[in-house]
Amino acid sequence: MSTSIDYSQKIPNNVDLKSDKRLQRALEAWQPDYIDWWREMGPTDFNEKEVYLRTAVSVDRDGWANYGFVAMPEYRWGIFLTPSEKNRTIGFGDDAEMEAWQQVPGEHRNALRRIIVTQADTEPASVEQQRLLGKTAPSLYDMRNLFQVNAEEGRHLWAMVYVLHRYFGRDGREEADELLQRRSGNPDHPRILGTFNEPCRNWLSFFCFTMFTDRDGKFQLLALAESGFDPLARSCRFMLTEEAHHLFVGQTGIGRIIQRTCEVMNEHPGCDPKDHGAIPLEIIQRQINFWNSSSNDLFGGEISSNASNFFAAGLKGRVFESKIEDDHKVVNEIYHMDVWEDGKLVKREVPMRNAMNEVLRDEYVKDNDKGVAYWNRVCEKAGVEFRFRLPHKRFNRKIGMYAEARFDVEGNPVSEEAWSAIEAEVLPTEADNAYVDSLMVPCYKPGEFAGWISPPAKGINGQPIEMDYVKL
Ligand SMILES: [Fe+2]
Ligand SMILES: [Fe+2]
């Protein structure tokens, strides 16, 4: 296998697809269904327009991508895995230090299939959630970023579908078909995970989604990049390379909204930013609270036998497993957890393997904190006193033990009555959403930006900010 990608094929790939005719035929048969799905459920109205997109051309660290104008349905979605490591061993769990698997081990087949399908399902789901946003893009720069994210989520679906087709036989092919049949938000045939059925109704939601929900994706991928099932690990490693831009879009997108609001607040001291077409910082904070708490749910329950089994089996590891200084079997370690028991929080010692979801969520929280610090520097620089905060991981949960009660943004339990009194302060209200929706008018002139968001610091790939990123 080489690191460069064979573009002479119908499906660009670096996995020597042409040497396996059966697999190649099966994937080439899936390809038109994928394009049909894209046309039906992908970005509306812009499929015929040329967009300045990045396409993977190699899995080398340097120079892995090409930039150029392409109409989205002609995007070269392909299958790229990072090169295999010689003699790679399993990095954790009961089989730590044994040879990594190049085929699916029979005893882990069901668990692996479930893990892969759950990850795969999020990729088309997010494209569906964001499909209307092009119509109200605040600039061509932002529209291009939206479509870049969408195209790459499509590629991540390809990455997972390859693994399903190649290693799971007929079951895998059936799963791949179903990935194109479920629909985000459809009550009869929804996407698998809750957050991926929430509508992304406006650009503030979109930026929160790419900040928090794509970041959940980053941590799931980091955990799967450690997998003892080598083809999955190598797929996820390359997906992480693309994912970094999605997180950049979210973090800087929210940062630019904050910057614009701060400017308005400074120009009109004591004003309501709404009177000047900006988004009040409190509204942004409430959206952060919603999307962050919803994304916290994606890590699953705090105490989980599934999480323990996945770790024990060598399927899903910890972030950067090789940098952790322990025996990577984690049999005797404990996790100190505030457990919700009989209506109160009690300190308990939980076997670390059972707390693996929590271990991963803790890493996620740390990463989010960096983003919040970045937003607060925007406020600081503007001389605005407001400071953003990440809600506590117990806040507003729908999954896990903390879903059984109400917690404030600091993580303190509150009564149902007290919750009713604070809810409108801590979660988006109908009025918030209506106001933000009212700002969503397209701004399609090259170099111009809607009044509620500042321009970025620089353009894409060294291009000027005022470039025609989407040729309308
Ligand atoms: Fe993705
Ligand atoms: Fe993403």
CA of 123 to the centre of ligand 2 (A): 7
Identify the pLDDT of residue 227: 98
Q: Show the tokens assigned to 38.
A: 């894209």
Per DSSP, 331 falls in state: S
Ligand nearest to the CA of 157: 1
Ligand nearest to the CA of 250: 2
The residue ranking higher by pLDDT, 119 or 9, is 119
Q: What is the pLDDT of residues 27-59, one digit of tens each?
A: 999 999 999 999 999 999 999 999 999 998 777
In sequence order, the 6+-apart residues with CB closer than 8 A to the CB of 177 are 30, 33
CA of 468 to the centre of ligand 2 (A): 24
CA of 145 to the centre of ligand 1 (A): 14
Identify the pLDDT of residue 64: 82
CA of 217 to the centre of ligand 2 (A): 7
CA of 310 to the centre of ligand 1 (A): 21
Helix axes 356-382, 230-267, angle to 10 degrees: 30
Which residue type is seen at 221? L
The residue-averaged pLDDT of 223-227 equals: 98
Phi-psi region of 284 (alpha: psi -120 to 50; beta: other; left: phi over 0): alpha
Q: What is the pLDDT of residues 372-387, one digit of tens each?
A: 999 999 999 999 999 9
CA of 178 to the centre of ligand 2 (A): 20
Per DSSP, 301 falls in state: -
Identify the pLDDT of residue 5: 65
Interatomic CA distance for residues 285 and 219, integer angstroms: 23
Identify the pLDDT of residue 3: 56
Is a pLDDT exceeding 90 seen at residue 343?
yes
> To which H or E segment does residue 20 belong?
none
pTM assigned to the model: 0.96
CA of 37 to the centre of ligand 1 (A): 17
Interatomic CA distance for residues 250 and 206, integer angstroms: 7
Q: What is the pLDDT of residues 231-241, one digit of tens each?
A: 999 999 999 99
Ligand nearest to the CA of 122: 1
User: Taking all residues of the chain, what is their mean pLDDT, rounded to a whole number?
Assistant: 96
CA of 420 to the centre of ligand 2 (A): 34
Identify the pLDDT of residue 199: 84
Q: Residue 70 phi/psi, 5° resolution?
A: -150, 145
Q: Which of 63-72, 95-104, 117-126, 455-464 has the lowest mean pLDDT?
A: 63-72
Identify the pLDDT of residue 216: 97
CA of 240 to the centre of ligand 1 (A): 8
Point out which residues pair with 338 in neighbouring strands. 347
The residue-averaged pLDDT of 401-407 equals: 97
Ligand nearest to the CA of 153: 1
CA of 106 to the centre of ligand 1 (A): 27
Identify the pLDDT of residue 65: 86
Q: What is the pLDDT of residues 251-304, one digit of tens each?
A: 999 999 999 999 999 999 999 999 999 999 999 999 999 999 999 999 999 999
CA of 221 to the centre of ligand 1 (A): 9
CA of 310 to the centre of ligand 2 (A): 23
Per DSSP, 213 falls in state: I
CA of 411 to the centre of ligand 1 (A): 30
Identify the pLDDT of residue 4: 62
Is a pLDDT exceeding 60 seen at residue 1?
no
Q: What is the pLDDT of residues 62-73, one digit of tens each?
A: 778 899 999 999
Ligand nearest to the CA of 215: 2
The residue-averaged pLDDT of 429-448 equals: 97
Ligand nearest to the CA of 148: 2
Q: Per-residue confidence at 61, pLDDT binned at 50, 70, 90?
A: confident
CA of 248 to the centre of ligand 2 (A): 10
CA of 368 to the centre of ligand 2 (A): 15
CA of 153 to the centre of ligand 2 (A): 6
CA of 412 to the centre of ligand 2 (A): 32
> To which H or E segment does residue 335 belong?
strand 334-341
CA of 99 to the centre of ligand 1 (A): 28
Given this structure, which CATH class describes domain 86-115+128-146+159-164+194-471?
Answer: mainly alpha
Q: What is the pLDDT of residues 421-430, one digit of tens each?
A: 999 999 999 9
CA of 175 to the centre of ligand 2 (A): 21
Q: Show the tokens assigned to 291.
A: 């999307």
Q: Where are the domains positioned within the chain?
A: 86-115+128-146+159-164+194-471
Q: Per-residue confidence at 7, pLDDT binned at 50, 70, 90?
A: low
CA of 211 to the centre of ligand 2 (A): 9
